[in-house]
Amino acid sequence: MLWSGLGLAGSIAAFVFGVTAIVVIIAGPFIGNDGSDVRRTIRNAAGIPPEYLPMIIEAANNAGCAEVSPAVLAAQLHQESGFNPSARSAVGAMGIAQFMPGTWAVHGQGDVWNPADAIPAAARYDCAVAAATASVSADPREKMLAAYNAGPGAVLAYAGVPPYPETRNYVRTILAQAQVYGDVIDAMVAGTVSAAAVAPVLAFMESQIGKPYVWGATGPDAWDCSSLVQAAYQRIGVSLPRVTVDQMRAGPLVSAVDPQPGDLLFIPGADGTPAAPGHVGMYVGNGRVIAAKGARWGVVESALSDWTSIVAVTRPLAAT
């Protein structure tokens, strides 16, 4: 758990986070187990020290938010310390959940070196950063884990998982390990789509590279960003809404960390916001995105790494 401020934006986010965290701490005992009577557990506990398993299950169920499941919490502790309660990082992170001293002073209770204290604290802190980043329209668990690793300010500043290789790997690794432990990652995560099914969509996008961008255009000689992806999916009989915000809401939403070819990537753009993005492109594989970028560029191919402010990813074929 390594993070620092991000200038004015970070200071503002830190203030908001601090207020939210206080509310979560005060309300925690009344929140219960995410508002559900379903007690979540771990289906495959292989590799989890048996002495910590009951603590993890109890802590996740009592944390107070849906984002923290026992499998996600266990995967996080595995990633943070390898379940080592004596772990200490080079920068001073402590214990099984690798709390920095300042964070533990605010959010911890008891002894940071005692897993019975540190594991519930990690689950509560996960919920606190999840609440602090609730305004960001992105996968809830990805936001939470990114905020635990890089700080809520970074998630707020980038309107999603920040483009730090360490943080993206942290999120990806934990969610993958959670699946090993038997977790159903999230109802928002849709299934995979076959390469054959999406191939005509990708071929159409490739064929449009170089055509001009004209706001409001619907082809075939010029496009805007949303009409281009709408036309691409029309090639296989999938009907998308016309405008970007409606396309995002049509979903289904999926993970933003590892997109599949055919996924639609949404960013605020010049005239949008994280909640109502103004620009959309399509991931076509091999780290590439095709989009009707703007009047200066037309339809272009760019690197996925250039799309640093993704607020949502949808997989239209997963809904069919």
For 54, other C-beta atoms within 10 Å of its C-beta total 10
80 assigned to active site: yes
- Long-range (24+ apart) CB contacts under 8 A made by 179-182 are 179/71, 180/44, 180/75, 181/42, 181/43, 181/44, 181/45, 181/48, 181/70, 181/71, 181/74, 181/75, 182/42, 182/43, 182/44, 182/71
Amino acid at 28: G
Alpha helices in the chain (DSSP H): 7-31, 53-62, 70-81, 101-107, 115-132, 140-150, 152-158, 165-180, 195-207, 225-234, 244-250
191 touches 318 (CB < 8 A): yes
Amino acid at 129: V
Query: C-alpha 179: how far from its chain's center?
Result: 15
Active-site choice (67, 80, 142, 166) = 80
Active site residue ranges: 80
